Chain A
Amino acid sequence: MSQEETVTPQDDLPRPERVPFFQRLLDNPFLLLFLGVVMPTVFYIMWGIMEIATLPVAP
């Protein structure tokens, strides 16, 4: 990678387009916040509560 000062404008301009998907994800705390709350809410809390709520009544 060349130093910042030596970068030509042609190199600099398309850069935002070239930021890889995962870097954009990791640079976005609010998207991460959304994912980090939804995952355990769906897989742990909702799934767990559903299973308990649908238990049959003892014969």
Chain B
Amino acid sequence: MSSFLPPAERNWWSTPVGKQEVIWVGIALVWCLIMFLMMPYWHLYGKQNLSSEAYQTTPAKFQQRVDEMVAQYQVGEEAGMPIVKPPVGSDVYMLGRLWQWYPILELEKDQPYRLHLSSMDWNHGFSLQPVNINLQIIPGYEMVLTVTPDQAGEFTVVCNEFCGIGHHVMLGKIYVKEN
């Protein structure tokens, strides 16, 4: 009746609020603050935080970095793509382009690497499976994150941002070896 009629009181602001609503607003507010504090808490004590280190770059410049790394540390080849084993703790590069993640990386378990990611053309989605870490890769920008693989095995990078007709064949690999 009155949800679509003007309030019953001219000065409705001063009408007292029922106990039930006051209690619920209180409970909800506390929960909202807990959720808010969880994010800074995780930055301090959690292990999965995306760094905000990033640079403006160009496809040519990033390609050059990738090529330098491949030339220096290539250890093999699979499906026509180089497998690269960079030193522990070093800067590691992977690029996304239509429609591959290049190159294949071989990392050591429990060792940190500075992983650089960028795109040569359109947006791509770096989706590491079956771990399920998902990042947005944008052309013109280089994202840098420190990653420490804590499982050994074969991992696949699926592209999960639509990038045209060949989107579904865009896969990459990361091998993590026990040291």
State the A residues within 8 Å of B (CB).
1, 15, 18-20, 22-23, 26, 55-59
- Inter-chain CA distance A56–B5, complex, in Å, is 56
Q: Are A56's CB and B12's CB within 8 A? A: no
Contact A58 B56 (CB under 8 A): yes
Residues of B within 8 A of A (CB): 9-14, 54-57, 61-62, 141-142
State A56–B14 Cα separation when bound (angstroms).
53
Point out the residues of chain B lying under 8 angstroms from A56, CB to CB.
55-56
17 additional A-B residue pairs with CB within 8 Å, beyond A1-B9, A15-B11: A15-B10, A19-B11, A19-B13, A20-B11, A20-B14, A22-B13, A23-B11, A23-B12, A26-B13, A55-B55, A55-B141, A56-B55, A56-B56, A57-B55, A58-B55, A58-B62, A58-B142
Nearest CB in chain B to that of A18: its residue = B11
B56 x A55 contact (CB < 8 A): yes
* Chain B hits for A19, CB < 8 A: 11, 13
Residue of A nearest to B142 (CB): A58
| Docked CA distance A1–B141 (Å) | 63
Q: State A59–B141 Cα separation when bound (angstroms).
A: 12
Q: Which of A1, A20, A26, A58 contacts B57 (CB 8 A)?
A: A58
Distance of B168 from chain A, by nearest CB (Å): 30
CB distance from B142 to the nearest CB of A (A): 5
| B11 partner residues in chain A, CB cutoff 8 A | 15, 18-20, 23
Q: What CA separation (Å) do A59 and B53 show in the bound complex? A: 13
Known: A55-B141, A58-B61, A58-B62. A20 touches B13 (CB 8 A): yes
